[in-house]
Amino acid sequence: MVATRAGVSAATVSLVTSGKTAGRVSKENIAKVAAAVDELGYVVDGLGSSLAKGRSNIVILVAPDVSNPFYAKVIAGIRDAVGDEYQLLLSVTEAGQTPEPEDVKNLLALRPAGLLVEAPSARFLAELRSTGPMVLLDTAGIESAAPSVNFDVASGSRMLADHLGEQGHRNVAYLDSATGTETFRVRREAFCRHASGLGVDVVATATSTIDVGAAALAFAQDWPEWAAKGVTAVVCATDTHAYGVLQEARVVGIRVPAELAVTGFDDLPYSATSNPGLTTVHLPAMEMGRMAGKQLRRLMEGEEVAVAQLTLNGTLVVRGSTDASARG
Amino acid sequence: MVATRAGVSAATVSLVTSGKTAGRVSKENIAKVAAAVDELGYVVDGLGSSLAKGRSNIVILVAPDVSNPFYAKVIAGIRDAVGDEYQLLLSVTEAGQTPEPEDVKNLLALRPAGLLVEAPSARFLAELRSTGPMVLLDTAGIESAAPSVNFDVASGSRMLADHLGEQGHRNVAYLDSATGTETFRVRREAFCRHASGLGVDVVATATSTIDVGAAALAFAQDWPEWAAKGVTAVVCATDTHAYGVLQEARVVGIRVPAELAVTGFDDLPYSATSNPGLTTVHLPAMEMGRMAGKQLRRLMEGEEVAVAQLTLNGTLVVRGSTDASARG
DNA sequence: CTGAAAGCGCTTACAG
DNA sequence: CTGAAAGCGCTTACAG
């Protein structure tokens, strides 16, 4: 330990660097150590420190697909809540994949102070022998004993169905996400069930990956059939899908919302400024990150969480893409 | 060490788990250890292991803004090249911020096997006392002794200028990025210099953050003035800016490319499917990640890199947004 | 208030 | 081929 030379003692340095000097180290020594640390540009070695303490100060977020503006907000919320005594690091799985147990096994060897897992698969939860503080995000439709923070996407879907029903739609199409994530299954099923109770029928379904181009293509292929079935609205699993529909509609000359209403889900930034603006379910991403971070923090500090399963509600944001007054 | 009990020895286990059994451990013992490891679900503790070896097996990528489809590709390339004996982890700075020395200081305490830094600031490079393998990505305009992989964005800008000149444009506007990243300065300056040599003048400039809505707004505000100056093309610092222009043009009823040509930079996935398709400079993101990963790998294995400064060329992709045949 | 000592979980020469 | 031993850089009771 380099700083030892410059100062006086050995263990004392540790006390100083970890800020545990309260009534244990003289002012003189604190000053000496501080000076030495400065001169030598010393930084506590995380490895040795962590090994001695039994765990590191890193918090790992395992996320499926960071290249989504949605996650950027979640991450911002997490960082906010976790604080800087922990080091937040991301482990990104292959694009579109949900995290698998193998991915986490190696991560666990790092002895993280805490683990945050976004959109885990059912298999993941079954196999993972959790070792330490962990909170799950976005586990829609999967039950688990681990603390989690979720969106109530089902209620969002119902609000969408209500809105469409009020606007007079009777036959709608559903453009689903091709990734098998649970949240999308829940979104669709909740919508279909609630809608049918209102006399709004989902008469056709298509799927595409979460990509504007792919969604546009899927819509282009199915639109003739949908039109023949009297479809007047397309409900999309995500805003991204909706952008594809909006784009293709413009190309083909379908007027939105006059001929066709379009809805999204997520409320990405672009949805407020697109033309027309997109009616969608706003999901409080940053808030989700913040809550997950808070829960984890509590766990890392050895406390219990008051409520293990947290649910955040979405809100319906009505914009131009479903404006009934524009309809013939 | 738990596995000891189940097997026979202590150090032997280490030999087995690290695969250094070549002529050093009997087959019987290898089998015994393997069995014990299986039964106990043992995983080598990364902390102890790293401390003993002097460094960890984690590779940290410090990136400014992961919520950009562009980075997803870079990351995929890196993962590809770095291989799975290393653990790739991301450290994300606040949105739009370039990495600062403080961010990395804490990261360094983790004793990473290697460090990848995307779009570092000049201050960053000046202050960082590099401790170990490191390669820089996207350092456009900044000189540094550290190995780096860059795009030759200047040549991309020149190709754009050539293209616009050939199409007969004489007065163009430039929509720049508000973030002060070097690459944007280089893009703009290279464009302006080369264009003026061709008789193409940049008669107006605006800036906005890298956001479709913000870009649309900036364009909306300045368009009347630009139109008055006879602007027939808008050159955007990124594809995202161009999307904003495309969107606003549609709202206001400006025909692209008939009345106004629009160009981007980066070639994000959406640019191929937008309407009209966006003329832009394709930057090989995945390739950049792959090269950076390879360079770092060499460094981590104690070898020298053959060439320290690597540069990748962009290519001009001409699409509908600059189709001169549509002009009056 | 302070230092000597043990120990965190591994790996790596080093004898046998 | 195999085990005992030292050591990686820290932290934390424990005597003084």
Which domains are present in chain A? 2-44 (no CATH), 54-147 (3.40.50.2300), 153-283+316-326 (3.40.50.2300)
Average pLDDT, chain B: 89
Q: Is the pLDDT of residue B327 over 70?
A: no
Using the Cβ of B67 and the Cβ atoms of chain A, whether some distance falls under 8 Å is answered with yes
Q: What is the helix (H) or strand (E) element at residue B225, kind and residue range? A: helix B212-228
| B40 Cβ within 7 A of any nucleic strand C atom | no
> Residue B159's pLDDT is what?
98
Query: Can you tell me the mean pLDDT for A156-163?
Result: 98
What is the rounded average pLDDT of the residues B213-227?
Answer: 94
Task: Identify the helix (H) or strand (E) that includes residue B202.
Answer: strand B201-208
Rounded Cα distance between A118 and A62, Å, is: 6
Asked whether residue A95 carries a pLDDT value surpassing 70, the answer given is no
Average pLDDT over residues B226-255: 93
Tell me the pLDDT tens digit for each residue of A227-272.
Answer: 999 999 999 999 999 999 998 898 788 999 999 999 999 998 889 8
Q: Kindly tell me if the per-residue pLDDT of B2 is higher than 70.
A: no
CB distance from A129 to chain B under 8 Å?
yes
B45: the nucleotide nearest its CA (via C1') is C9
Cα separations (Å) of B157 from A3, B177, B235?
51, 15, 10
pLDDT, tens only, B146-195? 899 999 999 999 999 999 999 999 999 999 999 877 889 999 999 999 99
Q: Does residue B7 surpass a pLDDT of 80?
A: no
Nearest residue for C6, CA–C1': A52
Q: Which residue of B has its CA nearest to A129?
A: B41
The pLDDT of B45-50, averaged and rounded, is: 89
The string over B42-73, giving b where at least 16 C-beta atoms fall within 10 Å of a residue's C-beta and e elsewhere, is: bebebbbbbbeeebbbbbbbbbbbbbbbbbbb
Q: Do B46 and A110 touch (CB under 8 A)?
A: yes
Which is more confidently placed, B135 or B211?
Answer: B135
pLDDT of the residue at B95: 62
State the Cα–Cα distance between residues A171 and A204, nearest whole angstrom. 9
Residue B275, SS3? coil
Question: Is residue B212 less than 8 Å (CB to CB) from chain A?
Answer: yes
Residue among B89, B98, B87 nearest B64 (CA): B98
How do residues A168-196 score in pLDDT, each as one tens digit? 999 999 999 998 778 899 999 999 999 99
Res. B1 pLDDT band, cuts 50 70 90: low
The alpha carbon of residue B319 and the mean position of all alpha carbons in its chain are separated, in whole angstroms, by: 24
Q: Which of the pair, B290 or B213, is modelled with greater confidence? A: B290
Helix, coil or strand: residue B249: helix
Structure tokens at A59: 């918090």
